[in-house]
A and B are shown apart, each in its own frame.
Chain A
Amino acid sequence: MKKENDKKIDRRQFFRSGTRTAVIVGLGGLTAHAANQATAKDTVWQIDPNLCVQCEQCAENCVLSPSAVKCVHIYDMCGYCDLCSGYFEPNTDELNTGAENQLCPTSAITRTFIEDPYFKYDIDEEKCIGCGKCVKGCGAFGNGSLQLQVRHDRCVNCNQCAIAIACPADAFRRVPADHPYLLRGYDI
């Protein structure tokens, strides 16, 4: 009787260790298969400004509030215009910093006089919500020096970016972490 019991345990243990080995082999195969297309370097999310349509989804869909997407100003491309189409509402009568004249819903752009007739525009990232209204304005009538980018000091690098799913233009993609920005017409 006892002998039979031992045998039973042995049989179960044999089955268990056999299956365990099979699982290890299977897991190894799965890992190797996935490792075929693996990268040792980390990747991060970024917006391709060539595809971005400034639909304002970036402001609404990020898991962070406010969004990790901010407007980046490439000063090198900027015309320092007095009538900045990224700063002022269309059909603004007076070119002053009155809130009613500003395109930015959070007054995140500061306008500084440099010399006649040039003005400098700076983005206050604490205030910027990444809606891209200024980017649209600048792209439509200006030099396109304002561009939306994922800021990597804020982005938590979600496994699946919630904005990327919502982006109607498929402008989000993963890029190598050592080249984490995609700016149009400008190299970092």
Chain B
Amino acid sequence: MISDLIRHDQITRKWTVVLLLSILVCSIPTQIHSQIQRFPKPEFESGHVVPTPTTPHPRQDIYEYIDVAVLIIALSTASYLALKKRSRNGIFMLSLFSLLYFGSWRKGCVCAIGSIQNISLALFDRTYVIPITVIAFFTIPLLFTLFFGRTFCAAVCPLGAIQDVVILKPVKVAAWLQKVLGFIPHIYLGLAVLLAAYGADFIICRYDPFVGLFRFDASFLMLLFGAVLLIGGIFVARPYCRFLCPYGLILNWISRLSKHHVTITPTDCIQCRLCEDSCPFGAILPPTPEKAPEARSVEHKRLAILLALLPVLIIGGACLGSLLHTPLSQIHNTVQLAERVRLEELGKIQDTVIESETFQQSGKPVEQLYGEAALIKNRFIKGSTYLGGFIGLVFGTTLIGLSIRRKRRDYTPDRGTCLSCGRCFAYCPVGKKESKEDEK
């Protein structure tokens, strides 16, 4: 009897579940329907045909692959023109082409500089889907630089090209100032990787000074930044490339290892000093003096001190960096929102902003938001420590690099900072004399 009752109870419960489920299933579409279709679709007597909305399609995939092909062809041509043909005019024409193709036609997106952020986001966020063409834009210029030097900067990068055409009255930047300003790209690269990896922002794209000029459309600040760099670029050659560009920095590192590199003279340097002031980027290294300025033992001692100082600088930088995690994490939208909502919940702020209103409407529990924000903040503690350590490392290695003396007999391009633009070719008398004699 009791078991019968239990059975009966079970059957009713089962039917209740089925009934509830069917109600749920039926109610889902009607609920959406009632939300959207408050007024019935009219039945027209006049024979009016209901139009369909237009959906213009984006560029087809094939064009993305054409971009990659153009990139490879342009890099090959640039390397050929710089290393084999030694033609400044050719490089200049190619850079104009790149300015028109990658700049005006492709509207400056996606570019190798910005692709750093996609790569870092892809490495840290396993759910991020990265287009294969973006990986190509990141990798291919690096590979070319590894074999031929920074020919990408010389003639393929549209940001370089737009600055290259305005170098009218280049002034020499003092070597020490150049070194000091050269720190900015390290900080910029570190910040860009950190902020992109944690999904906060793509700062390289946000503060791209020239993309607005490529599109003839941008915010006032973006255009102002671009104009300042271009006007400044009349005197200080390629300011973005030398003192800001984070991709240029990676190319700088890699170019030091390049298998081939442009040379100032086609054959042997005769130390005529004609090329000494020809480089607007200060990338020509003069011969070192015959006599050592200091005793070897002094140099060795200094090097030993600097090497011992390196870990101290790294740890010090890491400590300083970790202190910066709060302002850095506040760039992330979720952290910003969580702090705003917390202040609103505590009643410290009476009014609301659109972000907090939207959050309240979404019905997401506050605790979940706080949890997400705390997680991001934790990641930033780690990230900003690494960033600080990286800056310390850069500082230390720069000091070490300055204290190592290498013997140089000839005028040679600095493999790191040389952009392979070929301006110095015309100043070298070596090749010309021979060719003139040949003509005679």
Binding site for B on A (CB under 8 A): 16-17, 19-20, 23-24, 27, 30-31, 33-35, 37-44, 53, 55, 57, 63-65, 72-81, 114-115, 118, 120, 141-145, 151-153, 155-160, 162, 165, 168-169, 174, 177, 180-181, 183-186, 188
Contacts and interface: CB of A to CB of B under 8 A. Distances in A.
A39 B58 CA distance: 17
Given A37-B129, A160-B206, A188-B55, A79 B257 contact: no
B254 A17 contact: no
A40 B259 CA distance: 31
Interface in B240-261: 254, 256-259
A156 B211 CA distance: 11
A114 B44 contact: yes
Contacts of B48: 114-115, 118, 120
B215 A42 contact: no
Contacts of A120: 48
A60 B123 CA distance: 31
19 contacts: A16-B256, A17-B259, A20-B259, A24-B146, A33-B122, A37-B127, A39-B129, A55-B354, A75-B53, A79-B40, A79-B41, A115-B48, A144-B35, A152-B56, A165-B206, A177-B58, A177-B60, A180-B57, A188-B55
Contact of A177 (B45, B61, B205): B61
A180 B39 contact: no
Interface of B: 32, 35-42, 44-46, 48, 50-53, 55-61, 64, 107, 109-110, 114-115, 117-119, 122-123, 126-135, 139, 142-143, 146, 201-202, 205-206, 211-212, 215, 217-219, 254, 256-259, 333, 337, 354-355, 357-359, 361-362
A23 B109 contact: no
Contacts of B258: 20
Given A27-B143, A79-B39, A188-B53, 19 more contacts: A20-B259, A30-B123, A30-B139, A34-B119, A35-B132, A38-B122, A39-B129, A42-B58, A55-B358, A65-B217, A74-B53, A75-B52, A79-B38, A142-B38, A152-B57, A159-B110, A159-B202, A160-B201, A177-B60
B107 A156 contact: yes
Residue among A35, A53, A63, A65 having the largest count of chain B Cβ atoms under 10 Å: A63
Contacts, number: 176
B257 A16 contact: yes
Given A159-B109, A159-B117, A153 B217 contact: no
- Which 9 residue pairs are nearest across A and B when measured between Cβ atoms? A79-B39, A160-B202, A153-B56, A152-B58, A168-B355, A168-B358, A115-B46, A34-B122, A38-B132
A41 B37 CA distance: 35
A162 B206 contact: yes
B149 to A, nearest CB: 12
Contacts of B58: 42, 44, 152, 155, 157, 177, 180
A55 to B, nearest CB: 5
A120 B53 CA distance: 13
Contact of A143 (B36, B337, B359): B36
B358 A118 contact: no
A117 B337 CA distance: 46
Nearest to A13: B259
Nearest to A34: B122
Contact of A35 (B36, B107, B135): B135
A181 B53 CA distance: 11
